[in-house]
Structure 1
Amino acid sequence: MSVTREVAPATPAESGSTARRFGRLALATVVLLSGLTLVLGFLNKDRCTGPEFDQWGRSAPDYDERNKRDVCYSDIQHLWIGRDVDRHVFPYVNGDITAKGMLVGGSVEYPVLTGLLIWAGAIPADNDAMFLLFSALLMAPFGLVTAWLLGRLSRWRALVWSLGPPIVLYAFHNWDLPVVLCAVAAVYVMARGWGRRERTFYQRALVASVLLGIGFAFKIYPAIFVLPLALLVLTGGPGGRELPDGKRYDWAAAAKVALASIVTVVLVNLPFALAGPAGWKASFAFQQMRRVDITTNSIWYWGLRPFMDEDLMQAIADILSPPAMVVSFGVAAWLGWRRFRHDGTYPWVQVSAAMLCGFLLLHKVHSPQYTLWLVPMFVLLRLHLGWIAAYFAADLAMGIGIFRWYYAIEFGQSSGIYDSFSAQAVVVGVWGRAALLLALFFVFLKSDTTFDRRDATAAVEVARTPATS
């Protein structure tokens, strides 16, 4: 008589045991340290505020000089003027964009939920310092919850987020903490579910897709993670154990998961599209019209600038950047599929991380704060800490060097590539990050997750355990 040894799949409660063993005190320490780093991040940007203010609420004196010289520039403080934020105009509804690409009437260059966040942070403010403060108070909880989720998933490795230099440099540089939380929360929901009730794999996937759709309404990039999530559902989740009987792929479930994100994006955007179609479209038009120039920090500017004039460089970047990103997404998904054929589980987090590398490398704009998007992947995926240290070093050279270089250019200091330390730091930052992103694209795809994988392990053991007599 043959006997087949079966291994029962872990329940969500069991899969959360790693987090419980981590301990409440340890988790609280991760969150507390994150809070302290966020405070340092605010103080770093607050150096640019005051002590006086002009009639528009702009910090004085010498704001334009200080924010570059002292490396305390923040988009939050800067955009107090120029988008009708200081006038407390509700975003998008009466907005538009001029033929020269200037936003007017309350439109901002960000998706609608970020626009709402900007407007909310400005309500109690009457100068750029107060706007920075209230915006930081609004966003800090998103950073703290991100630390909590990462701690629950990856234990002490979450300190890469909580204590990482990018938090000090960029936490309040722009409005990126909410979108990072959406992306991390989607991973958490897939791994742990939510609440005390047991959730099915399909329920978790639907909620994760909704979270990614909400992330799109903050800062676009989480939308690219919907594809690997749908491929995970298509292939039946860990070990394929969620597939309906007799089916090789679950096309219907994958389509529903992708549709959940699309519906979320439509529902969030629809009120703004109906109330102010011109202002709503202006945010997308602004990004399409944005010039590839010294402020974009991308490989397109630094790679093409020495060989052609700005108009030709712009045309080439506009033509090549979007399909190059799409190709990188396709390559990541395909390599993930190859790993699925070998391991039995589609590596959706790894593929998402690789796709993010492709986006950061090939998009025509690479703003400094985009590093915040990548840091959770350093926590969630098991790679050597040397990769993280190298990326942080290149990013630090970029994050500090770029503003010192702007200061040198604008205020008559030495700014040549070969005779300016700040310019050399920018070169190291741009090409160092580019090389690391290219390498990390493949490193991420070969890595394992740092959170509990017993669901997948159990399913694979069931599939591979031979019958014994």
Structure 2
Amino acid sequence: MSRAPGEHVHPTRDDPVVAALSEGVGGPLGDRAGRHRWWTPLRVVLALATVVLALGLVQKTTCYQDSWQDGTERYRHMCYSDLPYLYTGRGFAELSWPYDDDAELRDRYEVMEYPVLISYWAWGAAVATQALGGFPDLAQRYATPAGELAGLDQVREESRRFVAVNAVGLAALTLVAVGLLAGVHRRRPWDAALVAASPALALTALVNWDLLPMALVAGALFAWSRGHPGVTGLLVGLGAAAKLYPAFLLGPILVICLRQRRWADLAATSAVAVAAWAVVNAPAVLSGSTEWLHFWTFNAERTADLGSLWLLVDQAADVGFAASTVNLWSWLVFGAWCLGVLVLGLRAPQVPRLAQLALLVTIGFLLVNKVYSPQYVLWLLPLAALARPRWRDHLVWQGSEVFYFAMVWFYLGGFLDPAGGDDAGFYWLAIGVRVLGQLWLAGVVVRDIVVPSRDPVRALPGRPPVAVDLS
């Protein structure tokens, strides 16, 4: 059935899973259905995101009540978060600048192992945390061994407030991201519900600060859809200053610009991205170049770590991978994967959409990376929602991610250890399930690129596949 040009594609008439579920509440949207004056698609998805984020806070209640002090309960209840530990472990309880090169400070605290924008955010959240408490006198803390700070009543209370301050800020970013995603494809605002109603979002939102780069990626996707390459480059550069993966959008943009001969757009996006990244990194480099380099050296020296295929092979076959070996082969395999995405993008029947190619590149990186922390699922959420807006595929993929999320905490808590004391094979199974879920998602996106009529975004109801640019 054809639709009016400005009418939204409604999920009960577009998505088989949603259509089947709607039978319990009266069936798909009817031809004569009216619109609610208040509950627009944007407001509905924002409300969904608010509820899901609130459920995520509830899920962290056990850890919040004991200030993340119980080493067993944080894994048993799957409510672990890096935030309170980094508040005391990286000097934020003393409002130490993350890139201060003072020798005494560096002897006292480890350097932040994250890119600069996350470090800036964490420092700003620490300032806000202490401002809400009236900026306490820090003299006692300076005289207390760093390892004992978390035991001080005032610091313990602050660590909880620090999590709350971050929760408010990250929730605001998430709502902005969901709103932007709802506007990428004007006829498909409901696709943003795949992020807003995500169980992975509820479970992993406060594990670390990965919602920050996720929001910047959502903004970059929106800016590109509106034909603003400079703004896209700005947001990509800012995203790359928070995590490496937003920089992966430049590869798909290269493919799109090559096929459409958009040389000016390619130059503007790339130049602004590099400039934005450099400007944001400058304060860290100028205040402590050695501390700034720590993120890069830390990752280069890291061996096979949590959640990766490298860890699975290392433990199962007792290989003992050296960091240099993993570095070499992970980048070689990732390079080959990117070459495959490049060929796919250049030879596809129609120009692939930005979200499709970016999703494939990011999945390739996550498959070969040396570590897979459970919150990395957030990297894929906005890309997957736009690349493959089908609930069936998201249920398959996110089901694998939720299974991995549970198993990683049980593994760290020692609950999966067999009686003989050997490595936990059930955790290896969880890694394999997570990898298969991501490969499933990549597979259906590749199929949509090769056969554009299978792409839900191009194959609008009642119309042939769209041949115009939807990147």
Query: TM-score, normalized by length of structure 2?
Result: 0.77
1:386 corresponds, among 388, 392, 395, to: 392
Deviation of residue 158 (structure 1)?
A: 2.1
Amino acid at match of 1:107: V
Query: In the alignment, what sits opposite 1:84?
Result: 91
* Cα distance, 1:76–1:457 mapped onto 2, change above 3 Å: same
Query: In the alignment, what sits opposite 2:326?
Result: 317
Native 8 Å contact 1:92 1:280 kept in 2: yes
Query: In the alignment, what sits opposite 2:126?
Result: 122
Aligned length: 402
Residues 122-143 of structure 1, C-alpha deviation per residue, up to 9 Å, x if partnerless?
2224432111111111111111
Native 8 Å contact 2:53 2:205 kept in 1: yes
Residues 167-197 of structure 1, C-alpha deviation per residue, up to 9 Å, x if partnerless?
1110111101111111111111122x3xxxx
Query: In the alignment, what sits opposite 2:197?
Result: 163
* Cα distance, 1:452–1:438 mapped onto 2, change above 3 Å: closer
Equivalent positions of 1:33-432 (< 5 A) are 33-51=48-66, 59-60=68-69, 63-94=70-101, 105=109, 107-123=111-127, 124-125=129-130, 126=155, 127-152=158-183, 153=185, 154-191=188-225, 193=226, 201=227, 204-236=228-260, 249-251=261-263, 253-293=265-305, 296-310=306-320, 312-339=321-348, 342-343=349-350, 345-382=351-388, 384-408=390-414, 415-416=417-418, 423=424, 426-432=427-433
CA distance in 2, matches of 1:150, 1:437: 21
- Unmatched 5+ residue regions in structure 1? 1-13, 52-57, 194-200, 237-248, 461-469
CA distance in 2, matches of 1:215, 1:440: 23
Native 8 Å contact 2:176 2:215 kept in 1: yes
Identical pairs, percent: 24
2:46 corresponds, among 31, 38, 42, to: 31
Deviation of residue 265 (structure 1)?
A: 0.8
Deviation of residue 59 (structure 1)?
A: 4.7
* Cα distance, 1:276–1:184 mapped onto 2, change above 3 Å: same
Query: In the alignment, what sits opposite 1:246?
Result: none
Where 1:136 maps in the other structure, the secondary structure is: helix
Amino acid at match of 2:252: P
Deviation of residue 351 (structure 1)?
A: 1.0
* Cα distance, 1:45–1:95 mapped onto 2, change above 3 Å: farther
Query: TM-score, normalized by length of structure 1?
Result: 0.77
CA distance in 2, matches of 1:434, 1:215: 25
Where 2:72 maps in the other structure, the secondary structure is: helix
Where 1:79 maps in the other structure, the secondary structure is: helix
Query: In the alignment, what sits opposite 2:438?
Result: 437
* Relative contact order, higher structure (CA 8 A, sep 6+): 1
* Cα distance, 1:374–1:96 mapped onto 2, change above 3 Å: farther
Where 2:405 maps in the other structure, the secondary structure is: helix
Native 8 Å contact 1:37 1:162 kept in 2: yes
CA distance in 2, matches of 1:379, 1:23: 26
Deviation of residue 216 (structure 1)?
A: 0.4
Query: In the alignment, what sits opposite 2:133?
Result: none
